[in-house]
Amino acid sequence: MSTTTTPTSAGGTSLVTLGKRWDVIVERYNSQPTIIKALGLAAALVFVYALPLIRPPFFTTDQIDFGGVMFSVAAFALVAVGLNVVIGYAGLLDLGYVGFYCVGAYTTGVLTSYHWSWPFFLALPVAIAVTMVTGVLLGAPTLRVRGDYLAIVTLGFGEIIRICVKNIEWLGASAGIKDIAHPNTIGAAPQPPFDKGGLFEVPRLEWDGLIPSLDTQHKTAVLAFGAADAIPYYWLILTALILVLIGDRLVKASRVGRAWEATREDEDAAELMGVPTFKYKLMAFALGAAIGGLSGSFYASGQSGYISPDSFPLLLSMLFVAAVIVGGSGNRWGAIAGGALVAYLPERFRDFADYRLLIFGLALTVLAVWRPEGLLPPRRTRRAKAAEAEIDALEEGELEGGLA
Amino acid sequence: MTGPKALLEVDNVTIRFGGLTALDSVTFDIREGEILGLIGPNGAGKTTCFNVMTGVYQATSGQVRFDGKVLTRLKRHKITKLGIARTFQNIRLFKSMTVLENVMVGADAHSKVGFFDALFRLPRHRRTEAASTARAKEILEIVGIRARHDELASNLSYGDQRRLEIARAMATGPKLLCLDEPAAGFNPAEKLRLMELIRRVRDEGYTVLLIEHDMRLVMGVTDRIVVLEFGRKIAEGVPSEIRDNPAVIAAYLGVDEEDAS
Ligand SMILES: Nc1ncnc2c1ncn2[C@@H]1O[C@H](COP(=O)(O)OP(=O)(O)OP(=O)(O)O)[C@@H](O)[C@H]1O
Ligand SMILES: [Mg+2]
């Protein structure tokens, strides 16, 4: 920490408080007997899945379909979790993540609509694989070089991909691709206009102030993927997010996660301790790409089933990076929070939509000054911060003990 | 050559940085099971020597052989896997990781666990993880910081950070352990304890290469000593020979006069 200025340490304190609160929740959860833990987890899962049906007051967006908002919240969270592997774990600044998102989306579009008509669930793994290969091809030459080079190359990559799809007829050029296959409906096929198909239908809640009532007018057909209702798509991408999270956790808490962290901390030292740093950087990069491709594929086959080059502006890359940084680079829950916020806030406050970038920029600046580690940084960052604050308090203005 | 066989041979190594010759035709070897001291005034080229041995720098000419294998152009992590481990003169721990994790990174050097082993928690992951954890704790016990294994590395005291550096290097399972001024910044009592530790490490079966400024200490703990000055080897021999070597005394004159005499 070379710049320990007043705002940082002040922000550090509140950061520690927020972190502590989170830790207390986690610890309290962990100290419960297994059965309680399982029940708690199940309840949380049910709640998260049911969120677009519950439509909590204040939280629900009035001006725009809440199910659709929740879909993009989950999609952003998934993207942020993927990018967190690259930025947060391996310390590689990838500024062109939208490129992978785009590759995943276009692979799905081409396979299920534009040139072939594969079912979605067949196209999905191919989209992931193609994106992963793209990641390896981009990473292999660039990850050998240290420093800012990667940021510049990935930045260019994100833009090149967009320009390519815009100009290649085979990929639909600027008109984009429409009628991308939705995931296959499970259960009865929908019979428009009235029968939505699916397995069964669930009603949602309507709130009059704080009093809920069942709204039987707007039912959601479970596992029916049509154009009318975004909620099944939300369930699908949420499931993907949960699976990715489980994988993320297992891999992070292993030799692979340690190798990433050591490489991020001190690449030379890691290499000299036997870590093949290039291999692990490439692995993180390819994994991140694959998760980006996964979310891109879900995006393409979403409710509208339409993508165009304009769906993948470079700005989206910046939002993705912002999501990871805002959330607290290196912490998967932070990434989810960051992704969710970045997707949710502009939709919730549509009235200010014209100013959303301005407000967003201001918020980022404030955060950078007050909480450079993000809202919810990894626990160890908070621990180190706490210890640092303690030492600072002890030293009271004395020279900071900078170890060579 | 008589006695135990040479584990590492530095053969006529020269390295230049622009106009500066940091090592000038340096030749020496390290024998299995010994503690070799590498000494010399500031800027003599000791750390550079470590860097050439561990693949950080490529020698301008000459070569380094380890166990008969030429190390030139070998990747650094491969050299580590062959069995050379080192510590850093400027402590370079993975600060955001815990003490145990730091050592585990070293222990992972020989692990065959891959991405899928970890993702699916295959038996290989479980087995390796358990074994490495046990081994890491054992090593922490040896260097004397086992009780602090759950601390963040950055929260350790300076001395414990130096101990952790040694532990992390030991965990890579090296044949040769290179310590770059491990006692820098220690008080005399701490230094003594460290030298005891180094002897214990040797007795565990490691060969040790030790850079240390404090002549008295080096004399006490090493089996043989190589002396560098301005990138050249000016002397080599057992401590008593080095102590009486006029070139060495001259090199250290005004630096550590009483220690040298
Ligand atoms: N990467 C480099 N580029 C240029 N010069 C270098 C480089 N590395 C080392 N040197 C020079 O090589 C010489 C030997 O340095 P080295 O660090 O090996 O000395 P040392 O014996 O370890 O000294 P000390 O006791 O101070 O640690 C010094 O003059 C140093 O400035
Ligand atoms: Mg040195």
DSSP A310-377: GGS-HHHHHHHHHHHHHH-TT-HHHHHHHHHHHHHHHHHTGGGGGGHHHHHHHHHHHHHHH-TT-SS-
A121 domain residue, yes or no = yes
pLDDT of residue A55: 84
Do A20 and A81 have their domain in common? no
Interface test with A, best of B56, B102, B115, B157 (most A CBs within 10 A): B115
Q: Which two tokens stand for residue A341?
A: 């916020």
Which residue has better confidence, A19 or B106? Answer: B106
pLDDT of residue A181: 82
pLDDT of A390 > 60? The answer is yes
Percent of chain A residues past pLDDT 90, beyond the cut: 41
Secondary structure element (H or E) that encloses residue B220, with its range: helix B215-221
Confidence label for A21 from pLDDT (cuts 50, 70 and 90): confident
Alpha-carbon separation of residue A131 from A93, A108, A201, A319, A376 (angstroms): 18, 11, 36, 20, 29
What average pLDDT does chain B have?
91
A354 domain residue, yes or no = no
Do A88 and A170 have their domain in common? yes
pLDDT of residue A193: 62
Do A369 and A333 have their domain in common? no
Tens of pLDDT along A124-176? 999 999 999 999 999 999 998 776 788 899 999 999 999 999 998 888 878 88
Chain A residues near residue B80 by CB distance under 8 angstroms: 272-274
On whether the CB atoms of residues A81 and A336 are closer than 8 A, the answer is: yes
pLDDT of A42 > 60? The answer is yes
Confidence label for A347 from pLDDT (cuts 50, 70 and 90): confident
pLDDT of residue B46: 95
A247 touches chain B (CB under 8 A): yes
Chain B residues near residue A274 by CB distance under 8 angstroms: 77, 80-81, 106, 108-110, 172
Chain A residues near residue B160 by CB distance under 8 angstroms: none
pLDDT of residue A402: 42
pLDDT of residue B261: 41
As a whole number, mean pLDDT of residues B64-89 equals 94
A133 domain residue, yes or no = yes
pLDDT of A9 > 80? The answer is no
Is the omega angle on the peptide bond into residue B188 within 30 degrees of 0, that is, cis? no
As a whole number, mean pLDDT of residues A84-93 equals 94
Chain B residues near residue A273 by CB distance under 8 angstroms: 77, 80, 85, 105-106, 109, 168-169, 172
CB contact under 8 A, B104 and A258: yes
C-alpha–C-alpha distance, residues B235 and A349, integer Å: 77
Do A371 and A255 have their domain in common? no
pLDDT of residue A14: 63
Chain A residues near residue B50 by CB distance under 8 angstroms: none
A135: containing domain: 66-184+225-348
Class of domain B1-83+174-261: alpha beta
- Longest Cα pair distance anywhere in chain A, in angstroms? 75
Number of domains in chain A: 2
As a whole number, mean pLDDT of residues A186-213 equals 74
DSSP state of A92: -
Of B86, B96, B113, the CB nearest to A261: B96
Do A93 and A134 have their domain in common? yes
C-alpha–C-alpha distance, residues B260 and A143, integer Å: 49
pLDDT of residue A285: 95
Interface test with A, best of B77, B103, B111, B151 (most A CBs within 10 A): B77
The residue nearest atom 28 of ligand 1, judged by CA position, is B43
Residue A403, min C-alpha distance to chain B (Å): 8
Residue B243, min C-alpha distance to chain A (Å): 31
As a whole number, mean pLDDT of residues A6-21 equals 58
pLDDT of residue A3: 39
Q: Which residues contact A25 (CB under 8 A, 6 or more apart)?
A: none
Confidence label for A368 from pLDDT (cuts 50, 70 and 90): confident
A403 domain residue, yes or no = no
The residue nearest atom 3 of ligand 1, judged by CA position, is B17
A313 domain residue, yes or no = yes
Residue in B213, B27, A72 with CA at minimum distance from that of residue A64: A72
pLDDT of residue B64: 96
DSSP state of A52: H
pLDDT of A354 > 80? The answer is no
Residue A85, min C-alpha distance to chain B (Å): 14
Cross-strand pairs, A211 = A208
C-alpha of residue A198 to centroid of ligand 1, in Å: 72
Of B76, B92, B118, the CB nearest to A251: B118
Residue in A403, A322, A397, A317 with CA at minimum distance from that of residue A4: A397
pLDDT of residue B122: 94
Tens of pLDDT along A247-263? 999 999 999 999 999 99
Q: Which atom of ligand 1 is nearest to the CA of B228?
A: 21
Do A374 and A335 have their domain in common? no
Percent of chain A residues past pLDDT 70, beyond the cut: 90
Residue B199, min C-alpha distance to chain A (Å): 22
CB contact under 8 A, B56 and A268: yes
Of A254, A265, A271, the CB nearest to B118: A254
Of B91, B105, B154, the CB nearest to A275: B105
pLDDT of residue A251: 96
C-alpha–C-alpha distance, residues B10 and B64, integer Å: 5
As a whole number, mean pLDDT of residues B196-206 equals 91
Do A233 and A316 have their domain in common? yes
CB contact under 8 A, B91 and A283: no
C-alpha–C-alpha distance, residues B2 and B10, integer Å: 17
Percent of chain B residues past pLDDT 70, beyond the cut: 95
CATH classification at residue A137 = 1.10.3470
pLDDT of residue A174: 80
Q: What is the interface pTM, i.e. ipTM, of the complex? A: 0.92
pLDDT of residue B2: 53
| Residue A189: how many other CB atoms lie within 10 Å | 11
pLDDT of B51 > 60? The answer is yes
Residue B224, min C-alpha distance to chain A (Å): 26
Do A103 and A174 have their domain in common? yes
CB contact under 8 A, A283 and B125: no
- Our measurement of the distance from residue A385's CA atom to the centroid of its chain's CA atoms, rounded to an integer in Å, reads 26
Tens of pLDDT along B10-27? 999 999 999 899 999 999
pLDDT of B89 > 50? The answer is yes
**Euclidean distance between the first and the last CA atom of chain B, given in angstroms as a whole number:** 30
Confidence label for A305 from pLDDT (cuts 50, 70 and 90): confident
Which residue has better confidence, A56 or B105? Answer: B105
pLDDT of A8 > 80? The answer is no
As a whole number, mean pLDDT of residues A351-363 equals 75
What average pLDDT does chain A have?
84
- Region of poorest pLDDT, from A49-63, A196-210, A334-348: A196-210
C-alpha–C-alpha distance, residues A252 and B6, integer Å: 41
pLDDT of A397 > 70? The answer is no
Confidence label for B260 from pLDDT (cuts 50, 70 and 90): very low
As a whole number, mean pLDDT of residues A2-9 equals 41
Tens of pLDDT along B227-249? 999 999 999 999 999 988 898 88
Do A238 and A339 have their domain in common? yes
C-alpha of residue B89 to centroid of ligand 2, in Å: 6
Across the beta sheet with B176-180, what order do the strands follow? B84-86, B176-180, B207-211, B35-39, B224-229, B232-237
DSSP structure string for B167-192: HHHHHT--SEEEEESTTTT--HHHHH
**Residue from B10, B13, B14, B17 to probe ligand 1 pocket by mutation (most atoms less than 8 Å from CB):** B17
C-alpha of residue A261 to centroid of ligand 1, in Å: 29
Q: Which atom of ligand 1 is nearest to the CA of B50?
A: 18
Residues flanking ligand 1, CB < 6 Å: B 17, 20, 22, 40, 42-48, 89
Chain B residues near residue A384 by CB distance under 8 angstroms: 95-96, 152, 154-155
Nearest CA in chain A to B169: A273
Chain A residues near residue B74 by CB distance under 8 angstroms: none
Nearest CA in chain B to A383: B152
Residues 350-379 in A contacting B (C-alpha not used; CB under 8 Å):
378
| Domain positions in chain B | 1-83+174-261, 96-172
Do A163 and A273 have their domain in common? yes
